[in-house]
Amino acid sequence: MNKGREQWATKMGFILAAVGSAVGLGNIWRFSYVTGDSGGAAFLLIYVLCIFLVGLPVLLAEFSIGRRGQSDVVGSFNKIAPGKPWVIGGVLGVLTSFLILSFYGVIAGWVVYFLYSYITGSAGAVEEGGYADFFLNFIGGSVGPVFWQFFFMALVIAIVFFGVKKGIEFSNRIFMPLLALILIILAGYSLTLDGAGEGLSFLFTPDWGAFGEPSVYAAAVGQAFFTLSLGMGAMITYSSYLPKETRLPSAAGGVVVLDTLFAIIAGIMIFPAVFTFANVEPDAGPGLIFIVLPEVFNQMGTGGTIFAIFFFFLVAIAALSSAISLLEVSVSYLMRKMNWERRKATIIAGVVVTLFGVPSALSQGGPLTFTVFDLPFLDLIDTITDKYTLPLGGMIIALFVGWGWNQVDALKETGLTDSVIGMIWLWFIRIVAPLGIAWILFLNIFS
C-alpha cells in the first residue's frame, strides 16, 4: 500500500526539515512581541519550562505517530487506531494547518515587502518616527498586502511541488545553516550596542510578580505549541517520511533545543537594539519587528540598512521553511485521500489556502476591515488556532499516545523502551501534558 511513498534521503535531512518547520515567524516575530508584552524574563522562564515539560513529550509523540503510521496525519491515526474517534485529532490537524498557513502567508508577505523596501532603499529613506505610518499604510493597502502574500505563497508552492527530497529536504539543507549564520552575526552585533545590558536584563532578569499572572502561563503554552509546530500534524506528516527504524528521541531533543536556542538568540538580537534607542518600548505588540525595529535600524545610520536587509532576509527564509511544512500537511492528505499526484495536490491546496488568506491580507485597515467577535479576520484566525485548535489538537495527540495506544507499543514506538526516561515520558504524556493543556484551554475559553 505504501509502495512508492516518498522518504527523506537522510535522517539529518529530516531533522533539518523539522527544525525548519519549527524555526519561523514564531521564533522572531511572535516570540519577540509576546515576550515583550508579557514582561520579558518571567515569561521566558515559564516558556522554557513549557517547552520541556509539554512541548518535548508531545513532539516525541507526534514523531512516533507519523513514523508508525507512514501516512498523512488523518491516515496515520486511522492506520494505528482504525475506526476509533482519535482520528478527529488528524482532521483537526489538517484544518488547523490550513488556517494557520492562510494568515502565516500574509505576515510572511509583509516580511518580504520590508526586505524588498530595504533593498530598493525606500524603507531606509523613511524619516525618523515615520515607520508606524510606513507599516500601517502598507498593510492597510488593497494591492500591496495581497501581492506580497501571493509572491511568498508562490515560493512555498514551488518548493512543495518538487517533493520531499528535492523540494523540502534540499531547501532546508541550504536554509538552516544560512539562518544560523545570519542570526549569530546579527546577535553578536547587537551585543556591541549601548543598550545590550538593559536588553539582556529585560530578557533574563525576571519580574517575580509576573509568575502570579495566569495569562502569562496561557501565553507560554500557546507559544510553545506554535513555535514547535505542534498540535496540527506538521511533525506527524514529516516523520511519516522516515524509515521505520529511525531513532526518534535524539531527533526530538535536537529540534526542541535548536528551536529554543534560536528564539533566545533572536531575543538577544532584538532587545539590545530596542533598548539602545530610548524612545522605543519592548511591548509594542505584533508591530514590534515592523515598526520598532525599523526605527532602530534608522537610527543606526548606514549600517542599519545592511542590518535590516540581513534581518528581513533571515525572517523570510525562516518563514518559508515553516510554511512549506504547513502546506505539506494538506498536500500529503490530499495525495492519499483523493489519490492525486503531488503536483496536482500542491497546486490545488496552495491556491485554495492562498485565496482563503486574502480576507486576512485585506483586514488590517484595507477594504475588508470588518470585525468578527471584535477581531479583524486575520486576528480572528490567529486567535482560533492559537487559543483553541492548537491546544486541543495537542491534547488529543497526547491522550492518544498516552492512553489510546497500549503502554508497550507507545514505548516501543518512541524508542524509550523500559528506561526510566521512558516512564517519565509516559507519565508526562498521560497526565502532565493533558492537564497543563486542559488548564490553558479553560483559561482561554473563560477569560
Q: Does 251 bind Na ion (CB under 5 A)?
A: no
Give least dist CB 223 to ligand PHE, A: 9
How far apart are CB 216 and Na ion at their closest, in Å? 19
172 binds, among Na ion, ligand PHE, none (CB under 5 to 8 A by kind): none
For residue 320, which amino acid is it? L
Binding mask 325-364 for ligand PHE (x = CB under 6 A): xx--------------------------------------
Of residues 88-107, those binding ligand PHE (CB under 6 A): 100
Residue (410 or 433) nearer to ligand PHE, CB: 433
Position among 13, 18, 19, 21 found at the interface with ligand PHE (CB under 6 A): 21
Nearest to 314 by CA among 102, 111, 144, 160: 111
Non-local CB neighbours of 330 within 8 Å, separated by 6+ positions: 94, 97, 98, 101, 345, 349, 353
Q: Which stretch, 22-30, 57-65, 107-115, 268-276, contacts Na ion (CB under 5 A)?
A: 22-30
How far apart are CB 175 and ligand PHE at their closest, in Å? 13
User: Smallest distance, Å, CB 316 to ligand PHE?
Assistant: 12
Restricting to residues 361-420, name those near ligand PHE by CB under 6 A. Answer: none
Task: Name the residue whose CB lies closest to ligand PHE.
Answer: 26
Work out whether 26 is an interface residue with ligand PHE (CB under 6 A): yes
* 248 in Cβ contact with 235 (< 8 Å): no
Q: Out of 38, 76, 190, 229, name the contact with ligand PHE by CB under 6 A.
A: 229
- Point out which residues pair with 375 in neighbouring strands: 372
C-alpha cell at 399: 491522550
Query: CA 371 to CA 413: how far, in whole Å?
Result: 45
Cα 302 to chain centroid distance, Å, stands at: 32
Please state, in angstroms and rounded to a whole number, the distance separating the CA atoms of residues 140 and 29.
19
In whole angstroms, give the CA distance from residue 392 to residue 337: 24
Check binding of 66 to ligand PHE (CB under 6 A). Answer: no
DSSP result, 352-364: HHHHHHHHHHT-S
Question: Which of ligand PHE, Na ion, none does residue 382 bind to, with CB < 5 to 8 Å depending on kind?
Answer: none
Q: Is the dihedral of CA 32, 36, 37, 38 positive or negative?
A: positive
What number of chain residues touch Na ion (CB under 5 A)? 5
* CB 382 within 8 Å of CB 104: no
The site for ligand PHE (CB under 6 A) is made up of: 21-22, 24-27, 100, 226-227, 229, 232, 234, 322, 325-326
